[in-house]
Amino acid sequence: MTLARSDKTAEFKQKIETRQARIGIIGMGYVGLPLALQFSQERFSITGFDIDSSKVETLNQGGSYIVRIPAAEIQSARKNGFTASADYSLIARMDAVLICVPTPLNEYREPDLSYVTSTVKSIAPYLREGQLVILESTTYPGTTEEIVVPLLEEGNLSGLRVARDAFSAGFYVAFSPEREDPGNDTMARRDIPKVVGGCGPAALELACALYGSIFQRTVPVSSPAVAEMTKLLENIYRCVNIALVNELKQLCMRMDIDLFEVIDAAKTKPFGFQAFYPGPGLGGHCIPIDPFYLSWRAKKYDFQARFIELAGQVNNAMPYFVVENISGAMSQHGKPLHGSRILILGMAYKRDVDDLRESPSLAIIELLQKRGALVEYNDPFFPSVGRGRRYALNMTCTTLDRIPEFDCVVIVTDHSQYDYAEIVNKAKLVVDTRNATKGIAAANIIRC
């Protein structure tokens, strides 16, 4: 007897409730791996997929390559059945497939969906009826319906189509944006509400049921496009406000006003204000990138997202501002930038994370090198920095006991491991871009 379509969705939900649903997560990076571990903690059978064989091998040996995820968590997941693989044919065995791959910008600052499209093409031949496919990668509104769905349908060897309701044959598709905040230990991952948009009510129901098993709350919305736009709004909100304080920092420096003191005073207001802080530039996979995804998409509708683009321009200019201030500080101390030895403290894009993506440190180092400075770095999370998508540094970490050898020490990432008082005491000159030396009174500190 063949099950009715409504019975198939009921069967899927029962598998979730009884923890018999098999879940495949593609992309074992900063989003996919924590998500896999979260499902594993709830006793689901999890397979993590990645094209990087070294990641697959490390995970299957019970190791970790992300600092904030201890190996013990991987080993605990392994005991619960977690395994990693580069073999996409195993997708056929999964009940749900979650895609967590990068969505960077290309050299022209346009969306690069190559990781998404190559992943979708790779899994399409193995999809079977009744499976649920969810895209988590941040992207512009319309990606799920206009790119992912057609590629899945075109590449499926069984000729299946997306099931728009519980009575249709095919597989289900949804979009649910990741909301990872690396380094944030104040909120448990399961307490972060999960926004979900489905290609039809059945997909939405199943996706909410799946995420509802590991998150305290799901937030269903009317379509994948709404969920896609939600993620962009969240990050553009931060981007715009950071651009505001970055611009105010430059003004306040001319006015000889401490912007950090201003922010501390303003945030005492119990309503209508949220504190954002200036820095040397934006980093990470979301905030420096997402505004350009939306401004690019807006052009299709003959709309110029001027406010969003302006915020991006302000933030992108911050590494140049920092370098100019380093040059000015060096001049005040009778040293030209060209030929001077400069130590960059912190390569990660934010405090206490091992993530280089879009880090302003990379841009600052390259700008300093172009102006003839001899640059080295220290970061407790990176023994070496080689070649990435937008940089080719090939540098190794310098020890802090060499601080006195440098003409200038630049604090770019304010890791909590650093003893800033000791650094100031040893350094000839300190340029602080993060207010990390707050409370330290010394003539050799320049804050910018």
How many angstroms separate the first and last alpha carbons of the chain? 72
- Say what the pLDDT of residue 2 is: 46
Q: Which residues are CB-contacts of 443 (< 8 A; sequence separation ≥ 6)?
A: none
* Closest CA relative to residue 437, chosen from 337, 360, 359, 345: 345
Q: Give strand pairing partners of 374.
A: 341
pLDDT, position 1: 40
User: DSSP for 362-407?
Assistant: HHHHHHHHHTT-EEEEE-TT-SEEEE-SS-EEEEEBPPGGGGGG-S
Q: Which of 199, 286, 408, 448 is catalytic?
A: 286
Q: Please give the Cα distance from 399 to 219 (Å, whole number).
A: 47
**Partners of 133 in beta bridges:** 97, 173
CA pair distance 395, 341, nearest whole angstrom: 15
| pTM for this entry | 0.92
pLDDT along the chain (448 residues), means of 10: 62 95 97 97 97 97 94 97 97 98 88 97 96 97 97 93 86 95 83 97 97 98 98 95 97 96 97 96 84 92 93 94 97 94 96 92 95 97 84 92 98 97 97 96 94
pLDDT given for residue 182 in this prediction = 77
Structural domains in the chain, CATH included, are 5-222 (3.40.50.720), 248-447 (3.40.50.720)
Query: Any catalytic annotation for residue 286?
Result: yes
- Per the CB < 8 A criterion, the answer to whether 139 and 228 are in contact is yes
